[in-house]
Structure 1
Amino acid sequence: MKIKTAIRGQFLDIQTLVQQPEDISGQVRHIEDGLLLIEDGKIIWFGTWQQGQQYLTEQFHVEHYPEQLIVPGFLDTHIHFPQTEMIAAYGEQLLEWLNTYTFPTEIQYQNKDHADRMAKIFIEELLKNGTTTALVFCTVHPQSVDALFEAAQPYNMRLIAGKVMMDRHAPEALTDTAEQSYQDSKALIEKWHEKGRALYAITPRFAPTSTPEQLDKAGQLKAEFPDVYVHTHLSENKSEIEWVKALFPEQNGYLDVYHHYGLTGKKSVFAHCVHLEDSEWNCMHDTDSAIAFCPTSNLFLGSGLFPVQKAWQKQVKIGLGTDVGAGTSFSLLQTANEAYKVQQLQGYSLSAFEALYHATLGSAHALDLDHQLGNFNVGKEADFVVLDLNATCLQQLRQSTISNIEDKLFTLLTLGDDRNVFATYVYGQKVYQKS
């Protein structure tokens, strides 16, 4: 029997992809009393309540949210599942932080029971924060990937993840070999890619922790399985960039290392990209690669300020990433708040609608999923979030002074967090309800 759900309430989304930020406001769709009809996880009709009542048969179960705001599910374009338990670790920049905190934590994931326990917490945190899709780093251990996909399966989440490939400059307990990483990754691709809504990402941690032989194997995997993703780090920290140049002197900069091994392209997502050179921006554009902008992480590790304006100028796809655990929150509302501040420091005002775009349709585009996710267009998968605009006394006070939707959204993005997530729906099913 077909599962039919009808959602009534106030809706907000961005209707189509745009080329420039000033075009976003013209694509904003705000329906104060709207109706979303869902059948077997897909959107079959969307519009006003007045127009949609005629399609409501007795088969539909109607859920009404008269006081809330409903937006597409948030897409997190870069996050580390095994770093959940080391979020808020003090006092280091990137390279020292990896050695001091990250690697010791990730060693524990050789234990499947530990990985299972943490994967459950991780998925629950995503859903509690309104994140319905994420691009995720696991650890070097294949069982960490199994644990994550197994935890996501009961919710039918569209999750993209992969086993870290790392064969040097890390503790022995966290390294594989070029051949082993190839074999493990290939087996995981065959096991998980496109099983249900699961998708796989080839995941070299970053160029310094992979030998040329391993990067060559990563490129071989991408050639053999062109439909899978590539997910790694790029130009996060100035010391890291210098290290890459010393390790790969034959390549023309950091991005050229990945490009040389066939790892750029439409489904390649590079986290951070804080310090790209002009030639690298051009390569990102020419290869249709994407960037995960991770403001809370870039601030926490003192990495630098990512230039959103430059991404628009160069027509490079970007999405928002929390980058837990260098990032300090699972909430893409809080991440958007920090994104605004990072742009303010560079003389650019990130509008509320642009921030929503980067967290929804823009991120879907960065993940090559905008044909399936990111707004309420008919035919798309029904992942969405029901938001309470008045979750705190301060929010209630502020929201009572404004009436237009853009200011209301900006207030939510500035003051909001997981307390504002009233309910989360994945593939048309409610998977989280605020207690």
Structure 2
Amino acid sequence: MATTESAIASAEAHSAHNYHPLPVVVASADGAWMTDVEGRRFLDMLAGYSALNFGHGNRRLIDAAKAQLERVTLTSRAFHHDRFADFCTQLAELCGMEMVLPMNTGAEAVETAVKTARKWGYRRKGVPGGTAKIIVAADNFHGRTTTIISFSTDEEARADYGPYTPGFEIVPYGDLAALDAAMTDNTVAVLLEPIQGEAGVLVPPPGYLAGVRELTRARNVLFIADEIQSGLGRTGKTFASEHEGVVPDMYVLGKALGGGVVPVSAVVSSAEILGVFRPGEHGSTFGGNPLACAVALEVIAMLRSGEYQQRAAELGDHLHHELGLMTTGGAVEQVRGRGLWAGVDIAPSYGTGREISEKLMDRGVLVKDTHGSTIRIAPPLVISKEDLDWGLDQLRAVLTR
């Protein structure tokens, strides 16, 4: 078996350096814990950026995948298969919507949402061809395709990938007046994360999402909620938009929808909006495949119980209480988030986010930094209170001088 050093050296030599992972090599995982190639155990406090909301190796999800693997894994959309209708019906019901357009990755779902909004604008709203505008927020993260990075404000994500795709206008996140001013007759959609994850788990001001909903409805503009990271239980509700009683025109879902087993994403909306597509106008070979649908159906069933949303709410309250206490010692400048999701700004004198992440790794806890001084905490929703407290104890130890 490879050692940590040999595995990392091989990866560095033979894979593109588009990531800078922590120097740990995972070999197995169960629940909220991962074990590396040398047998060391680590508490996972990142959960694959919310893709592992239900933990590693969740028995229900693994059993669903195994059962489907024995039957059929892929048909393409050239044919119907016996899991597809149930998946679309049940996901639409979970979202309170009517139609589903399944894809694979989050970025594909965002691209699908962009195409849907433009086509809806031309076919339904009557926007002149080639003039549709979509408003997005500064500091957004919706993926890394050429079109998506065209409306990013992160130069690390944008640099050297031009020419950029036109048709987007960027306004400050949380600023309703700026959003209102940016709207024109050619605006077809507003695309937002209800909580900005990559930006450091930024929660918008109270009333912002409700204000966006009001503005978009008044101007006949679609409100698209990118709930790829924030949705499916992470914040203590099925969708983060629910915290303000908001139902968007369109949900963009991914990550946890595949249960940490397979990549599954989807755009979920009304028949009036998704009904703009005709055969051949959009598609995906693997989108909505039998294996993906089988796993996602089990995810939907688990969310219907409300158990995971309740755990995220209760443990999230505890997480934020404990993190809030750390702000009194000078090492933590600010804590943001909702449910089992937090962005923790570390005082620069205590180290960068990367340095704190490495120190936590040395103590058996895995988190990830973002934007220099911030670490993100997002454990699987199945984590026990005792394990969560142990992980927080390690953070306290790292920040104690």
Larger % of strand: which? 1
Q: Which has the higher contact order (CA 8 A, sep 6+)?
A: 2
Give the TM-score of the pair, scaled to structure 2.
0.29
